[in-house]
Amino acid sequence: MPDASSLPGGRASTRLDVAIVGGGLAGLYAIHRLRGMGLHVRAFEAGSDVGGTWFWNRYPGARCDVESLEYSYAFSDELQQEWKWPERYGTQPEILRYINHVADRFDLRRDVQLDTRVMSAVFDGKANAWTLTTDKGDVVRARFCVMAAGNLSTPRVPDFKGIGDFKGKWYHSGLWPHDGVDFSGLRVAVIGTGSSGVQMIPIIARQAKHLHVFQRTANFSLPARNAPMDPDRERRHKADYPARRRAAFDTPFAIAGYPKPTKSALQASPEERRAAYEAKWQEGGSISFLYAYTDLLVNKEANDTAAEFVRDKIRGIVKDPKTAELLAPKDHPIGTKRLCLDTGYYETYNRDNVTLVDVRSDPIQEITATGLRTASGADYALDAIVFATGFDAMTGALREIDIRTTDGASLADKWAGGPLTYLGLMVSGFPNMFIITGPGSPGVKTQMIASIEQHTDWIANCVAHMRRRDLDRIEPTPEAEAAWVQHVNAVADSTLYPLANSWYLGANIPGKPRVFMPYVGGFDAYKRRCDAVAANGYEGFEFSRQPATVA
């Protein structure tokens, strides 16, 4: 059992095999998987309950954009057979209910310490162990540290002048009040038109007296076509669940069931293309749309055909031509920023109580006591402001933890020019620290839970390998890490992704290094690579054992 002893000052010192940072989907599966190997584990979670992203993001309309039968754990067939998803796409409350069910069903809660934020993590190179400290005064020693802290878990409110003077209420999508917000009769602003903004805007518009949407960059959005779960579809899916999950390993997005495209968009006639895009538009969903042709994400001319199809749809839906033109994205290829899925988003701009404000041409200058002022001097009177302004993505959560080694290295310094990892799983110079779906991993470009399970299983097998050989230290070689980073960049550069100012590139955070962070070579290629690395004796990693053990 973990050993808890007292330190001077009354702080508890705990010894673990694995300290896990985060109690969301990744942290919970890590507990289950690693505890199942007989390891002593504990997860530290800043929130007052489990769930991570789905615990925090409670804004109106929050819903997953991956279908519910896919966006769920695969590790237990009983679980996936028994759980009933009521709709095609899971709502935030439904997904949180599912996560809580999993936590109870697999008795995971006893190894989650809630309301506890990890503040620092220091690797002791003599003992080959991490020491973590928390904001509650805990000191935790662990052989391994698993960072399951999320990619979109550090909400960001832009540094607008005057925000402290605002007399109304303001909210961020990722820090939503648990008892909800009633916007009835209020003059509301939503700033930001990414996935969060696009989901909440139609709902807030129905409540508010007036809604101003402050848009800096128009985003492409496709209809989700959410609907109650079709019982036949559910039955067919469940009859085939394990095979579908296995088949997902051989797809770029970790989701099976989308026929692989066979030709370039430029090989199809304009009529054929239009019919194909129309069929995908009617079907709903983003992956299927981007998978219509082989080259939508790699060839600008091919991409233009899909982008223009969606722009035409927007022009067809939005009645005011000026608003429609502002909503029609023209500054990035479709799919190079996260493609949004919506329910009635563009239609919302036909309402009399909704106004779109272009803050690209007239930026927000300050928040005032009574609202918001743009650079041109236009004043907007507001009772509430909603920031749907995103997150310090992919590196933000780790940047908030002071991660160091006793040799004097700091992760913040190492990543000052952009994150460096081997396989997205480990960082050279920071032994025994695993990252789940971090930079350099395909996680955020896939069905996230599939990536979480794949990463965690790989980590668990690696730890088992070390135990069999009585090894207590692993880290990637600098050469393997450099080669992986180069490969991640080369793959990104062979696509259209770098053409967009997205959070994939850190572009939404002023001053953040402009480095493309996810691996976009596909989940299939990534998994094959991880499997080959393990099969080749963990190629690119160095193992060792030191006489000193965790003291």
Instruction: Take residue 305 and report the two structure tokens written for it.
Output: 């055909």
Nearest residue (CB) to ligand N01, 66 versus 265: 66
The footprint of ligand N01 on residues 234-253 (CB under 6 A) is none
Strand partners, 169: 384
Alpha carbon separation from 489 to 94, 423, 494, 516, 520 (Å, rounded): 37, 13, 9, 7, 9
Q: Which of 37, 109, 139, 158 binds ligand N01 (CB under 6 A)?
A: 158
Residue 129 backbone phi and psi in degrees, to 5: -150, 155
Nearest residue to 394 (alpha-carbon basis) of 317, 290, 501, 503:
503
**Contact region with ligand N01 (CB under 6 A), list: 121-129, 188-196, 260-268, 300-308:** 188-196
Q: Which of 23, 27, 51, 194 binds ligand N01 (CB under 6 A)?
A: 194
Least CB distance to ligand N01 at residue 38 (A): 36
Least CB distance to ligand N01 at residue 385 (A): 12
Q: Which of 191, 204, 334, 466 binds ligand N01 (CB under 6 A)?
A: 191
Residue 457 backbone phi and psi in degrees, to 5: -65, -40
Nearest residue (CB) to ligand N01, 326 versus 462: 326
Output the DSSP codes for 333-375.
-TTSSPPEEESSHHHHTTSTTEEEEETTTS-EEEE-SSEEEET
Tell me if 359 contacts ligand N01 by CB under 6 A.
Answer: yes
Number of H helices, E strands in the chain: 17, 23
Nearest residue (CB) to ligand N01, 152 versus 318: 152
Per the listing, tokens 């749309």 go with 289
Nearest residue (CB) to ligand N01, 309 versus 503: 503
Q: Which of 154, 173, 286, 374 binds ligand N01 (CB under 6 A)?
A: 173
Interface pattern 298-337 for ligand N01 (x via CB under 6 A): ----------------------------------------
Nearest residue (CB) to ligand N01, 391 versus 458: 391
Nearest residue (CB) to ligand N01, 113 versus 368: 368
The footprint of ligand N01 on residues 493-532 (CB under 6 A) is 503, 508
Nearest residue (CB) to ligand N01, 63 versus 210: 63
**Contact region with ligand N01 (CB under 6 A), list: 291-299, 387-395, 460-468, 488-496:** 387-395
Distance (Å, whole) CA 525 – CA 399? 28
Least CB distance to ligand N01 at residue 395 (A): 14
Tell me if 193 contacts ligand N01 by CB under 6 A.
Answer: yes
Residue 73 backbone phi and psi in degrees, to 5: -70, 145
Q: Strand, helix or coil at 488?
A: helix
Q: Which of 69, 118, 140, 388 binds ligand N01 (CB under 6 A)?
A: 388
Least CB distance to ligand N01 at residue 359 (A): 5
Residue whose CB is nearest to ligand N01 in the complex, by number: 194
Least CB distance to ligand N01 at residue 159 (A): 8
Contacts of 269 by beta carbon, 8 Å cutoff, 6+ apart: none
**Contact region with ligand N01 (CB under 6 A), list: 322-330, 383-391, 512-520, 528-536:** 383-391
Tell me if 284 contacts ligand N01 by CB under 6 A.
Answer: no
Least CB distance to ligand N01 at residue 215 (A): 7
Nearest residue (CB) to ligand N01, 211 versus 460: 211
Distance (Å, whole) CA 437 – CA 420? 13
**Residue 55 is inside which H or E element, if any?**
helix 53-56
Instruction: Take residue 467 and report the two structure tokens written for it.
Output: 């135990």
Burial bucket for residue 37 (CB in 10 Å: 0-12, 13-18, 19+):
middle
For the four alpha carbons of 109, 111, 114 and 118, in that order, the dihedral sign comes to negative
Per the listing, tokens 């908030």 go with 400
Tell me if 91 contacts ligand N01 by CB under 6 A.
Answer: no
Tell me if 216 contacts ligand N01 by CB under 6 A.
Answer: yes
**Contact region with ligand N01 (CB under 6 A), list: 189-197, 238-246, 295-303, 410-418:** 189-197
Nearest residue to 181 (alpha-carbon basis) of 168, 192, 193:
168
Q: How open is the CA angle 391-287-78, to the nearest 5 degrees?
A: 90
The footprint of ligand N01 on residues 418-457 (CB under 6 A) is none
Nearest residue (CB) to ligand N01, 361 versus 549: 361
Q: Which of 31, 50, 364, 520 binds ligand N01 (CB under 6 A)?
A: 364
Strand partners, 354: 211
For the four alpha carbons of 11, 12, 14 and 20, in that order, the dihedral sign comes to negative
Q: Which of 131, 154, 196, 428 binds ligand N01 (CB under 6 A)?
A: 196
Alpha carbon separation from 446 to 226, 254, 389, 497 (Å, rounded): 20, 6, 22, 15
Nearest residue (CB) to ligand N01, 216 versus 244: 216
Q: Which of 338, 455, 473, 512 binds ligand N01 (CB under 6 A)?
A: 338
Q: Residue count at the site for ligand N01 (CB under 6 A)?
A: 27
CA 269 to chain centre: 36
Residues near ligand N01, by CB under 6 A? 63-65, 152, 158, 173, 191-197, 199, 214, 216-217, 338, 341, 359, 364, 388-391, 503, 508
